[in-house]
Amino acid sequence: MILKTFGWSFGVTVAGLVVALYFWGWEGFAVVAILSILEISLSFDNAVVNAGVLKRMNEFWQKIFLTIGILIAVFGMRLVFPVLIVAVTAGVGPVEAVELALDDPDQYSQMVTDAHPSIAAFGGMFLLMIALNFLFEEREVMWARWLERPLSRLSRIDGFSVGVALAALLLTATTVASQAYQHGGHHADKTETVLLSGLAGLLTYLLVGGLSGYFENRLEDDQEKLEEEEEAARRAGKKTTVVGASGKAAFFLFLYLEVLDASFSFDGVIGAFAITNHIFWMALGLGIGAMYVRSLTIYLVRQGTLDDYRYLEHGAHYAIGALAVMLLISIRWHLPEVVTGLVGVGLIGWAFYSSVRANQREAAEGVEPKHVSAGG
Sequence-ordered strand ranges (E) for the chain: 180-181, 187-188
User: What would the mean pLDDT of 263-275 be, rounded to a whole number?
Assistant: 63
**CA distance between the termini of the chain:** 24
Banded model confidence at residue 155, pLDDT cuts 50, 70, 90: confident
DSSP state letters, 141-201: --SSHHHHHHHHHGGGSTTHHHHHHHHHHHHHHHTTGGGEE-GGG-EE--HHHHHHHHHHH
pLDDT of residue 374: 39
Measured in degrees and rounded to the nearest 5, phi and psi for residue 188 equal: -145, 155
Q: What is the mean pLDDT of the chain?
A: 76
187 has which bridge partners? 181
For 175-191, the pLDDT digits (tens) are 888 878 776 667 788 88
Whether residue 292 contacts residue 2, with contact meaning beta carbons closer than 8 Å, is answered with no
DSSP β-ladder status, 180-181 and 187-188: antiparallel
pLDDT > 90 in the chain, percent: 4
Handedness of CA 89, 78, 170, 188 (dihedral sign): negative
For the chain, domain boundaries = 2-365
- Assess whether pLDDT exceeds 50 at residue 376: no
- Assess whether pLDDT exceeds 90 at residue 270: no
Measured in degrees and rounded to the nearest 5, phi and psi for residue 144 equal: -90, 85
pLDDT of residue 256: 74
Predicted structure pTM score? 0.68
For 327-358, the pLDDT digits (tens) are 888 888 877 766 766 777 788 888 888 888 88
Whose CA is closest to 301, among 10, 57, 12? 57
Measured in degrees and rounded to the nearest 5, phi and psi for residue 372 equal: -75, 135
In order of 132, 134, 319, the CA distances from 165 in angstroms are 8, 13, 17
Whose CA is closest to 324, among 202, 189, 143, 230? 202
Of the listed ranges 52-56, 115-119, 261-265, the least confidently predicted one is: 261-265
Whose CA is closest to 290, among 282, 278, 300? 282
* More confident site: 323 or 91: 323
For 183-214, the pLDDT digits (tens) are 666 778 888 888 998 998 899 888 877 766 66
